[in-house]
Chains A and B, each alone.
Chain A
Amino acid sequence: MLLPTLPAALPRLIARLPMAPVSFALSLGLNRVAWRSLQDLDWTPLYGRSFAIRILDLGFSAGFRVGPAGFAAARVADAAVTFSASAEDFVRLALRLEDPDTLFFNRRLRIEGDTDLGLTAKNLLDGVELETLTAQLPAPVRMALNQLRQRLAGQVSPI
């Protein structure tokens, strides 16, 4: 398990937070840690469309959209496409430890809404090397991510 150290009350707490600040914090965070590595990609097919992610086990959703200046918060209800998975599976996807099709076949990832838009975003991100994605992070964070990746890679992901 990735999240054994989380206080048991945390999912409930998060679930009670208003979603707009969560979306805002998430897009702010993405802009800070990843936008410099991602801004050279051709995001134009995604402009004006919004995405939502639903973290099923933590019970929260966040919405965002992409523009020339980076990510911005968006209403979850307006999302053209929604991805749903557990927190751990989102982490596995982000760290390139798991393939979305694998999670989909195993019913651990749901994609609802505009499938083409979801595929475009997935393929766009797949085209970036993990080292490039994490290059802008402070060295201690990068090291921690690498350790997490190695730890998760050593575990058999339960099906």
Chain B
Amino acid sequence: MSGSLLSEAKPLLELICPAGSLPALKAAVDQGADGVYLGLKDNTNARNFAGLNFDAKALAEGIRYAQTRGRKVLMALNTYPQPQTLQRWHAAVDTAAELGVNAIILADPGLMAYARKVHPELRLHLSVQGSATSYEAIAFYRERFAIQRAVLPRVLSLAQVENVIRNTPVEIELFGFGGLCVMVEGRCLLSSYACGDSPNTFGACSPGHAVRWQQTPEGMETRLNGILIDRYADHEKAGYPTLCKGRFAVQGETYYALEEPTSLNSMAMLPEMLKMGIAAIKIEGRQRSPAYVAQVTQVWRAAIDAVKRNAEAFQIQPNWTAQLTKVSEGSMHTLGAYNRPWK
């Protein structure tokens, strides 16, 4: 399966799509994803929302559906185990190995050590939550735990990404589209600050139990554990109810003090990504419905096929942009850090 590097061509711009449910997984596969990533129904992954994700039965069916069509299933186990419940994370690694996923995506070194020891044949990917931004950090994870792919945080410019790729044999996966985190991935405590739960421990940023939306005469208010984080006038597009994307009163002015509600869209950089040998492009959004997965997968499949056919002639089609803008947070997207001039 995943062990023999010699028999496998080095992947290039694999399209990796999110699946929060079996219908979403099937939508991704049907629309041409090369791989899907998913998680179990608990806090072993960073999209621990009520009713979302896979139990063992759905996981087995999803793996069968994807692998019989030649696609991969990657399982996210990217939260940090808690001392009292470490067994849950170990059991999840065992389940992934037994059911035959193509790789697991990990952030915690202790869990990597467990996976290496108990399931040495299981392919390991370093999660974005591991927050490795340098080739030295990636080399450490490779030497100690034999990780074969690293997902880079959305904080590096494309020039910095290229520098990482030139100096590591580990496959590099980049975020292509979707929700954009404030620039401290894997280390963010803003959600915990407001409501006591954060992705690394609880498995969700702004969990549903802490979120309230209310229509008021001034507009729609978003509250996180009672804290007013934004108020939208009727004509304004909305974003996710996260602290980082709220508007705050700072020295007499009310504005997006940390970042705007917007989605990442790196499509314009596909020719450069192809040239520098990016192994895979990840689409964010396991919390979203099958309709989103189908729409975004379809557009990115077309774009990646186009750039692989002829990178020089690659042009973004207007209908691709329209489709992606519609599903974007705040109906806006950005190249994010990929094209920033400063380092």
State the A residues within 8 Å of B (CB).
45, 96-102, 104-107, 110-113, 115-116, 118-124, 126-130, 156-157, 159
Contacts and interface: CB of A to CB of B under 8 A. Distances in A.
A141 to B, nearest CB: 21
B214 A112 contact: yes
Interface stretch (B5-13, B18-26, B272-280): B18-26
B290 A126 contact: yes
A98 B291 contact: yes
B119 interface: no
Interface residues of B, number: 42
Scoring B58, B208, B211, B295 by chain A CB atoms within 10 A of each residue's CB, the highest score goes to B208
6 contacts: A99-B292, A106-B331, A113-B212, A116-B50, A119-B51, A120-B50
B238 A129 contact: no
B288 A99 contact: yes
A150 B260 CA distance: 35
Contacts of B213: 110-112, 115
Scoring B51, B232, B234 by chain A CB atoms within 10 A of each residue's CB, the highest score goes to B51
Contacts of A98: 291
Given A98-B291, A105-B239, A126-B289, A110 B330 contact: no
Contacts of A106: 237-238, 326, 331
Interface string B204-238: 00011101111100001000000000001011111
Contact of A99 (B208, B215, B289): B289
Nearest to B223: A115
B191 interface: no
Interface string B1-42: 000000000000000000011111010000000000000000
Nearest to A111: B213
B300 interface: no
A105 B208 contact: no
A116 B209 contact: yes
A54 B86 CA distance: 44
B211 A115 contact: yes
Contacts of A96: 23, 289-291
Given A45-B50, A96-B291, A115 B208 contact: yes
A47 B234 CA distance: 34
A120 B20 CA distance: 12
B51 A107 contact: no
Contacts of A123: 20-21, 49-52
A112 B213 CA distance: 5
Contact of B288 (A97, A101, A124): A101
Contacts of A118: 208
B287 interface: yes
B259 to A, nearest CB: 15
B328 interface: yes
A105 B209 contact: no
A105 B291 contact: no
